[in-house]
């Protein structure tokens, strides 16, 4: 497989050959393993989590796209992950997030630049059995406060980390953590005991089999039901000091870089959701005749379809650019990924809603698939930065001083 | 007070450092094998050099380098002394890198000889920190 990305100008429909090849491979995976079970996985209970699908993704290397080749990965970088996630989300956003959340858990290991952590936590993704990861930030009393640097001081009751010789002891509870129920390890953000709010936020890689870690219960979500979001409880969990990423009190720095990598891929998921909804509406408007002509020949419907497809193209261009920038600048800049996500999340909601109106009553039926896109379209607006959080990141970048070294 | 008193002094120190790295077989092999080149831009005082498998050249590169690194000389000094960790320097924007991130990641583990030798380079020049 090819090396990760280069800076390039992308067409919304035609990618460079190595990414087209990846897109074809992922499409085959989606057709064979995701589409046939979309409805079942949407309605399944947590205990029916689709491990068969996960294994198929693992066998095709889709959980190690961002991992460098020297650690057994595919070396595609953020751009490859984003292209893959759009394809998966065009069928099922929840499935895409199983992959996306794993990449989020891998990101701090990559960002650590620490060969020792990398050789412990990356090769496991190329073993015989599938391995999932998760990223644990959110808590009951601290949501966006843990994503906005100026607001960490206001966070309350955050998971604590207390140093005890060569270990840290973690206590507390995380909520809404995608993959927590099924992951092998998580990147867990904890506040060094005694630091006000979450000003001592620190990232730890925690194997979830460590004594004192409890998983669950799984949240009963409106959308993204194929992936499991659950609580993670820490009761005197001893984590070796060498599992800390980036040093004490530097969690916000790691988390910000991680978000700047991830937001382009979430924008890709939203683009996929919009595309999935659009494809249903396009097919319907091609077949359905009213007033003596197919719906797409009526000017009002034509206008809707044209605007939907233009918005999807624009969202794709923004995420491709953001992912490419994230692969070619360290630290990954805040502006492009946040703006791509802000735009694509809105497009997903607008396109799904327009698709619903174009399909009439058929769109409203449970067995047509569209209502799932509508439900899923609202999810990405919450995780990895709400519109308000993204707006703050964007304006912060707009008004940032010139580089001063 | 900046660590380096003049551009000439800083340029000479960092040129020496990269010449040491190029004498390391692992570093040279990786640079050649992965087709890596480095454009180093440092400020306060200004330093600019281009590092390729052929050697260390003062000034800008003849063509675009695969990796461009920008930081202040004080930041470079703290990094090579091991006082500032690379992930933190990157995360706080004290060091900015342009170029394929995967190529940057290939670079990091092979810089050890420079960390090992930097203290003696500055000690020999009586540079206080
Ligand atoms: C599908 C899904 C998957 C998720 N996966 C994960 C995961 O893997 N790991 C994880 O840690 N979390 C995960 N989450 C949780 C998610 O990251 C949080 O829900 C999110 O950060 C918002 O926090 P909150 O829900 O507590 O909302 P709150 O922080 O309470 O915010 C509520 C509203 O207030 C607004 N608001 C808050 N602060 C400000 C402010 N300063 N200025 C203006 N407006 C503000 C918000 O924008 C939002 O509209 C997931 C959520 C979902 C829906």
Q: Does domain A17-126 have CATH number 1.10.540.10?
A: yes
Chain B interface mutation, best of A78, A113, A325, A337, highest count of B Cβ atoms under 10 Å: A113
pLDDT value of residue A404: 62
- Under 8 Å between Cβ of A282 and A351: no
Q: What is the pLDDT of residue B100?
A: 84
- Chain B residues whose C-beta is within 8 A of a chain A C-beta are 42-44, 70-72, 75, 85-88, 90-102, 104-106, 108-109
Q: Is B1 part of any domain?
A: no
Nearest-CA residue of chain A relative to B46? Answer: A405
Task: Give me the pLDDT at residue A230, please.
Answer: 98
What whole-number distance in Å separates Cα of residue A175 and Cα of residue A405? 39
Query: Does residue A125 have its Cβ closer than 6 Å to ligand 1?
Result: no
- Residue B5: CB atoms within 10 Å: 11
Averaged pLDDT score across all residues of chain A: 94
Residue A223 CA to ligand 1 centre (angstroms): 15
Cα B66 to Cα B21, B36, B52, B99: the distances in Å are: 17, 6, 10, 6
CA angle A343, A348, A352 (to 5 degrees): 150
Q: What is the pLDDT of residues A192-211, one digit of tens each?
A: 999 999 999 999 999 999 99
Summarize the confidence of residues A53-65 as an average pLDDT.
98
Report how far ligand 1's centroid is from the alpha carbon of A143 (Å): 5
A224 touches ligand 1 (CB under 6 Å):
yes
Cα A381 to Cα A267: distance, rounded to the nearest angstrom = 10
Spell out the long-range contacts of A253-256 with Cβ–Cβ below 8 A and sequence spacing 24 or more: A253/B87, A253/B88, A253/B91, A253/B92, A254/A108, A254/A111, A254/A203, A254/B87, A254/B91, A255/A137, A255/A146, A255/A147, A255/A189, A255/A201, A255/A203, A256/A149, A256/A331, A256/A334, A256/B91
**C-alpha closest to that of B21 among B44, B55, B48:** B55
A162 in helix, strand or coil? strand
A369 lines ligand 1 (CB under 6 A): no
What are the tens digits of pLDDT across the range A136-176? 999 999 999 999 999 999 999 999 999 999 999 999 999 99
pLDDT higher than threshold 80 for residue B32: yes
State if residue A378 touches ligand 1 by the CB under 6 angstroms criterion: no
Q: In sequence order, what are the residues at sequence separation of 6 or more whose Cβ sits closer than 8 angstroms to the Cβ of residue A184?
A: A124, A131, A132, A133, A207, A208, A209
CATH code of the domain covering residue B107: 3.30.1050.10
Distance from CA of B120 to the nearest CA of A (A): 25
The residue whose C-alpha atom lies closest to atom 25 belonging to ligand 1 is: A143
Share above pLDDT 90 across residues of chain A, in percent, rounded to a whole number? 90
pLDDT tens for A329-339 read 988 899 999 99
- Backbone Cα Rg of chain A: 21
Q: Contact at 8 Å (CB) between A128 and A113?
A: no
Q: Rounded distance, CA A281 to CA B72, Å?
A: 55
How many of the other CB atoms lie within 10 Å of CB of A15?
A: 18
Tokens 């007033």 locate to A291
Residue A212 clears pLDDT 50, i.e. is over it: yes
The CA-CA-CA angle for residues A68, A71, A76, to 5°, reads 20
Q: Which residues of B15-51 are buried (b: 16+ CB within 10 A; e: fewer)?
A: bbbbebbbebeebeebbeeeebbbbbebbbbebbbbb
Kindly list the residues from chain B whose CB atom is less than 8 angstroms away from the CB atom of residue A403. 70, 93, 96
What six digits make up the tokens of A75?
């070396």
* Contact predicate A74/A64, CB 8 Å: yes
Contact A81, A44 (CB under 8 A): no
Q: Which CATH code, of 3.30.70.890, 2.40.110.10, 3.20.20.150, 2.60.120.10, is assigned to A133-249?
A: 2.40.110.10
Q: Are A211 and A222 in contact (CB under 8 A)?
A: no
Beta bridge partners of B41: B48, B70
Domain definitions of chain A by residue range: 17-126, 133-249, 252-398
Size of interface A-B (CB pairs under 8 A): 80
Mean pLDDT of A233-251: 96
Sign of CA dihedral A91, A92, A95, A99: positive
A155 CA distance to ligand 1 middle (Å): 13
| Ligand 1 atom closest to Cα of residue A142 | 26
Distance A382 CA to ligand 1 centre (A): 5
pLDDT at residue A292 in the model: 97
Q: Classify domain A252-398 at the CATH topology level.
A: Butyryl-CoA Dehydrogenase, subunit A; domain 3 (1.20.140)
The predicted pLDDT at position A403 comes to 63
Q: Is the CB of A19 under 6 A from ligand 1?
A: no
| In chain A, % of residues over pLDDT 70 | 96
The contacts of residue B13 (CB under 8 Å, 6+ apart) are B4, B121, B122, B125, B127
Higher pLDDT pick, A254 / A403: A254
SS3 A260: helix
Alpha carbon A176 to chain centroid distance? 13
pLDDT attached to residue A14: 78
Q: Tell me the average pLDDT across B70-84.
A: 93
Task: Pick from A225, A345, A386 the residue to mutate for probing ligand 1's pocket: most ligand atoms within 8 Å of its CB.
Answer: A386
**Beta carbons of A329 and B97 less than 8 Å apart:** yes
Give A125's DSSP letter. Answer: G
Which has the higher per-residue pLDDT, A230 or A115? Answer: A230
Residue B2, domain member (yes or no): no
* pLDDT tens per residue across span A249-266: 999 999 999 999 999 999
B93: in domain: yes
Model confidence pLDDT, tens digit, residues B45-58: 999 999 999 999 99
Number of domains in chain B: 1
Interface ipTM above 0.90: no
Q: Quick check: helix, strand or coil at residue B52?
A: strand
Q: Kindly indicate the confidence band of residue A15, based on its pLDDT and cuts at 50, 70 and 90.
A: confident
Centre of ligand 1 from the C-alpha of residue A356, in Å: 26
Q: What is the pLDDT of residues A386-400, one digit of tens each?
A: 999 999 999 999 998
Residue range A17-44: mean pLDDT, rounded: 96
Give the integer Cα–Cα distance in Å for B111 and B21. 7
Place of tokens 């174009």: A358
C-beta atoms surrounding A257 within 10 Å: 23
Burial class from Cβ neighbours inside 10 Å (0-12, 13-18, 19+) for residue A18 reads: middle
pLDDT given at position A4: 44
The CA distance from A87 to B90, in Å, is: 32
Which residue range forms the structural domain that includes residue B18? Answer: 7-124
């Amino acid at each position: 497989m090819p090396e990760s990305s280069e800076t390039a100008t992308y067409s919304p429909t035609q990618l460079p050959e190595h990414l087209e090849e990846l897109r074809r491979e992922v499409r085959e995976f989606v057709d064979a393993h995701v589409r046939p079970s979309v409805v079942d996985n949407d309605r399944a209970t947590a205990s029916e989590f689709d491990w068969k699908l996960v294994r198929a993704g693992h066998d095709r290397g889709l959980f190690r796209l961002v991992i460098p080749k020297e650690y057994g990965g595919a070396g595609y970088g953020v751009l490859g992950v984003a292209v893959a996630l759009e394809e998966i989300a065009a069928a099922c956003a929840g499935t895409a997030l199983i992959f996306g959340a794993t990449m989020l858990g891998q990101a701090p290991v990559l960002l650590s630049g620490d060969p020792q952590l990398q050789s412990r936590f990356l090769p496991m993704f190329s073993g015989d059995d599938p391995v999932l990861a998760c990223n644990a930030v959110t808590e009951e009393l601290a949501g966006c406060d843990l994503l906005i640097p100026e607001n960490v001081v206001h966070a309350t009751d955050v998971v604590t980390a207390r140093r005890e010789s060569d270990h840290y002891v973690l206590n507390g509870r995380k909520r809404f953590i995608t993959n927590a129920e099924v992951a092998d390890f998580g990147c867990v953000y904890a506040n060094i005991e005694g630091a006000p709010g979450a000003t001592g936020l620190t990232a730890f890689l925690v194997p979830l089999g460590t004594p004192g870690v409890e998983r669950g219960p799984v949240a009963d979500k409106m959308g993204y039901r194929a992936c499991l979001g659950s609580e993670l409880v820490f009761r005197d969990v001893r984590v070796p000091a060498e599992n800390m990423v980036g040093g004490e009190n530097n969690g916000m720095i790691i988390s910000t870089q991680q978000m700047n990598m991830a937001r382009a891929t979430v924008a890709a998921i939203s683009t996929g959701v919009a595309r999935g909804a659009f494809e249903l509406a396009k097919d319907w408007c091609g077949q359905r005749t009213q007033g003596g002509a197919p719906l797409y020949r009526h000017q009002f419907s034509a206008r809707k379809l044209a605007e939907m497809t233009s918005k999807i193209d624009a969202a794709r261009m923004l995420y491709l650019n953001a992912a490419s920038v994230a692969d070619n600048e360290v630290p990954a800049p805040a502006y492009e990924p946040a703006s791509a996500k802000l735009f694509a999340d809105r497009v997903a909601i607008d396109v799904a809603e327009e698709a619903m109106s174009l399909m009439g009553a058929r769109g409203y039926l449970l067995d047509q698939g569209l209502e799932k896109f509508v439900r899923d379209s609202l999810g990405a607006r919450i995780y990895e930065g709400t519109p308000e959080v993204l707006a703050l990141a964007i304006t912060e970048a707009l008004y940032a001083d010139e580089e001063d070294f | 007070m900046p660590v380096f008193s003049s551009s000439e002094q800083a340029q000479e120190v960092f040129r020496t450092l990269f010449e040491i790295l190029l004498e390391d077989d692992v570093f040279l092999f990786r640079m050649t094998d992965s087709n890596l080149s480095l454009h180093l831009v440092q400020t306060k005082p200004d330093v600019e050099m281009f590092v390729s498998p052929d050697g260390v050249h003062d000034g800008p590169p003849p063509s675009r380098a695969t990796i461009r690194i920008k930081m202040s000389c004080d930041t470079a000094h703290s990094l090579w002394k091991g006082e500032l960790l690379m992930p933190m320097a990157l995360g706080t924007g004290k060091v900015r890198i342009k170029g394929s991130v995967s190529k940057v990641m290939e670079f990091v583990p092979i810089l050890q000889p420079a960390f090992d030798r930097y203290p003696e380079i500055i000690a020999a020049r009586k540079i206080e920190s």
